Each structure stands twice: as structure tokens, then as C-alpha cells.
Structure 1
């Protein structure tokens, strides 16, 4: 059974965490990336689908390749960040279900392309959110973005996997506080929620 996190942890993950547009020079290592992934994979997805496919961008050549797919502002952020991640979604995730969800024949649930697309998008989006939470929990800051050309990202990073498509991308590292905007409004519960 879970226990409530203390205020410091809640601040780190949610309340004082921010979207960063720039970072200091602290490097992100392969060990750091693996530690983030080891948390991401524990987050729930429907029938343990795990449809997200991650390309961790650490090297200068890979950064330039990703920057070439992004809008001018985002391209500069990618080039300057110590790391980025391309979060893709595998439209053939169901092929992995016999070992990921061995309790039943879950693969047979996905008989249409529409069902595959919808589930891959929904669950890879969850995994992308788990990335943000995991990175923050381990002391990193993130800069998720959608200002890029998806066809260019797919060609550059998933060209050998035509059934994998980009969902979104994010920079990450140790955030530079001078690069954040004032916090945008956050609605009160009643604005977008109700209890029935």
C-alpha cells in the first residue's frame, strides 16, 4: 500500500516544478537515462501495453538531427540542452502482448487500425507523462514540446520502424531558472471538474 509523499517530494514533482527552456552544463549520462527509464516502465498502461518507444538523444550529432526537425525556437533549445528524448508510439505494440500481458490473449483485442492507433497514442502519452515525473523525481528538469515536424522526426529516428510514430519530444537536464516564464494560471477544481 502506498504512503503519501512529503511536501518536498510533491513540490519537486508538481507544485514548484516548471517547464524549462534552458539548462546548465550538468551532463546527462547513460546511467541517468537508464535510471529514468527504470521508473517509467513501472507506470501503468492498459494491459501492460508499453507502446512508447524512446530515443534518448545525448550526442551532438543526434542533437543536430533532432534540432533539424523542430521549429526555430525549439531547435535552439534542443541544441543547447544536455539531453532530449523522442517519445514514439508503436502501432504494433500488440505483437508484444503475449509476453507483456500473459494472463489472456490480449493481442486479439486489437483487430482494427483505429483501435491500435487510439491505444498506442493514449498509453504512450501516459508513458511520456511518466518520463516527466520520473525525471523530476530523480532531480532533473524537463522541457516537453510539440513544435516539430512529425514526418521529419519519424524519418530521422524511426525510419527503420515504419509502424513507430513520434508522440512528443522533450529536452531535459538541470534547469536554468532564468529560462522559465512566470507560471501560467492553474484553474480551481470547480472550473473544469465536478463530482457526481
Structure 2
């Protein structure tokens, strides 16, 4: 999220970050966004009887900010089909693997356990299936001898911060 905010500060960047929404009230990104003068909101699933009710409020919040594109970053909830279809082609996510490999959680551990020589990250469109949307950009990172999930994650994070703003640029320029 911080990488997107920084990229959007450039005068020639085709997207503006108008709001940051989290499913965790204590998410550090909320304070970062607020310090930048960006609107924030926190919506915990536990405050809503159903996922559909939460997603209705998510949609209302996004629409109140006049959002054109939704960028997920660390939003660790599976979104429902109606919500993902509502934002189809305009909602993207960053995932720490070279999709379609290693969907879901614990990607670095799984890549190391498999003896992968290359790992990486993917910015992809969000679809109803978990980590199944079409990729926009990917970045490869070599798996080094002695890598741990933490060392591999640290190198991949550098690439995530590089490709996520570029993927948003591509999408914003296409709309």
C-alpha cells in the first residue's frame, strides 16, 4: 500500500489513492494513509452477521470515495462472488508467488519444501476463485542456497513494491 501511495505522488502517475480500507482496525496502513491525508475506514468482519452485509458496506464505502480501481494488499479475507464480479476488471491483488503456483497461504515455505529454484510474486485481477484471476505482472526471484521463508519473503517484497505500482499504472492507463 505504501508503494502505491508513493507512486501516486508522481505528477504523471495515472491513479490517485483516494482511500485505504482495512479489515483490521490496528492495520499500520491506516495510520500511514491518514498521515498522507488519505481517507481511511476499518470494517471488521466480526461486526457483520454475514459476509454479504460486510461486502455491502465495503461497496458503499468504496463508492462514497468514487473509487474506480480497488487494490488489495494484505486484505486477508476471501471476497464473495457478487463483490468480486461487481469489481471485475477493476480489482487487483498482489500475491507472493508466481501464480498459478502456490495459491493461498505459506507460499515461501511451500516453494522451499518443493525445492523450487525460482519463486516470485504476481499482481493479478481478483476473481471469485482464490488467486485464480488473470495475471497482470510477475517478478521472479531466485531461490538461494540457505534461503529461509523469511529471507525469501524479504527479497520478494522488494519486487512486490516494484511491480504493484507498475500494474496499477497499466490498469489505470487502460480504463
Q: In which range does the TM-score fall when normalised by the shorter chain?
A: under 0.3
TM normalised by structure 2 equals 0.25
Name the structure where helix makes up a greater proportion of residues.
1
Q: Indicate the structure whose relative CO is greater, using CA pairs within 8 Å and at least 6 residues apart.
A: 1
Specify the structure having the higher radius of gyration (Cα). 1
TM normalised by structure 1 equals 0.23
